[in-house]
Amino acid sequence: MSATARPSRPLPVPPPASVGLHRPLLVLALAMAVLAPVSAAGLVVDPRELAGAPVWAKPLKFSLSVLVYSVSLAWLLTLLQRGRRIAWWAGTATAVLLGVEMVIIVGAAAAGVRSHFNVSTPLATTLWSAMAASIAGAWVAALLVAALLLRAPLGDRARTFAVRAGLLIALLGMALGFLMTSPTPAQLADFRGVAGAHTVGAADGGPGLPLVGWSTVAGDLRIPHFVGMHALQVLPLAALLLERAARRVPALRREAARAGLLWVASGFYLGLLGLLTVQALAGQPLLRPSGAVPAAAAVLVAAAAGAAGLVLVLSGRAPAPRPGSPASPRTAGTPPGRRGRPSAGC
């Protein structure tokens, strides 16, 4: 009797290979983790001031910012399954360029001279030009990573949107930093070796908020720059919190509901970024807005709250995914014919 041929089964598709964190970015993050407490100690033991602020305030702020950014970018690179080589070089270039910027900032602080906008001597101009080129190069590298992530499958739709929106808004926030590099009318009228400023409507170095130093008497372009950059952390974190909340809130168990809320959050964040930019350019301090700014802020908050409420209401009317259904996370990846059946080993 001839043996009956059995139909061949397709070989299981292996999961994508895991990608380790980017080592050059992690080395940079480790260096910043060391520099931050050293700079904080400098605030205590070094009484020198520059432009109305302690000389070690800038190294402290930038070390913390670069630390957060380098860890965030290293994590983003692990999400890519295609274009890894390009992404690795983009991350490596970012680590080198931000490292160059930090060396100049720390060196200037140690010497007691300005690092940003300083064109008072040929050496200072060269260093400031090197910093500007490093910042521009890091922005281009982030743009390249964003282009790769826009085409990469990241799984959950809400999480995917949060990562992409966060990176795109962060790119916009980084680009806002270039608004600070143009000389002010006062600098052009009485040039003293400085071309560019953080503050609009007053000279740099006036009264400011603790630690960050944002002006309390005039507009400050560092505010939208800071808020925009950190969309890279805020929006993915919001997606993670929504996923956690979905365990207790049935309406959030639907992927579409979480994605809708993140659309609202991204729109609010983008609107807030625009409002802060307008406020800074108008010369208004953050805590004392005037004119149409408070009304626009109220409209933005009301619109976001209404849109979020609408998303939750519509999600509450739709049935939540049940265990055993195709949308249920407990059965994701299980062959259709085996759902709801006990395994042979039970």
Asked, for residue 10, whether it belongs to a domain, the answer is no
What is the predicted pLDDT for the residue at 321?
A: 54
Report the chain's mean pLDDT, rounded to a whole number.
85
What is the predicted pLDDT for the residue at 314?
A: 82
DSSP H or E segment with residue 308: helix 293-317
CB 259 within 8 A of CB 318: no
Predicted TM-score (pTM) of this structure: 0.81
Same domain, 145 and 216: no
CB 74 within 8 A of CB 22: yes
Same domain, 184 and 126: no
Range of the domain at 80: 19-153
Asked, for residue 335, whether it belongs to a domain, the answer is no
Asked, for residue 136, whether it belongs to a domain, the answer is yes
Asked, for residue 342, whether it belongs to a domain, the answer is no
How many helices and strands, by DSSP H and E, does the chain display?
A: 10, 4
Same domain, 149 and 166: no
Task: Look at the chain and report how many structural domains it folds into.
Answer: 2
Asked, for residue 4, whether it belongs to a domain, the answer is no
Asked, for residue 331, whether it belongs to a domain, the answer is no
pLDDT in tens, 274-319: 999 999 999 999 999 988 999 999 999 999 999 999 988 887 665 5
Same domain, 78 and 171: no
Same domain, 146 and 235: no
Asked, for residue 252, whether it belongs to a domain, the answer is yes
Same domain, 69 and 32: yes
CB 216 within 8 A of CB 285: yes
pLDDT in tens, 195-206: 888 999 888 888
pLDDT in tens, 230-254: 999 999 999 999 989 988 888 888 8
| Domain boundary, last residue among 100, 131, 153 | 153
Within 10 angstroms of residue 117's Cβ, the number of other Cβ atoms is 24
Same domain, 168 and 314: yes
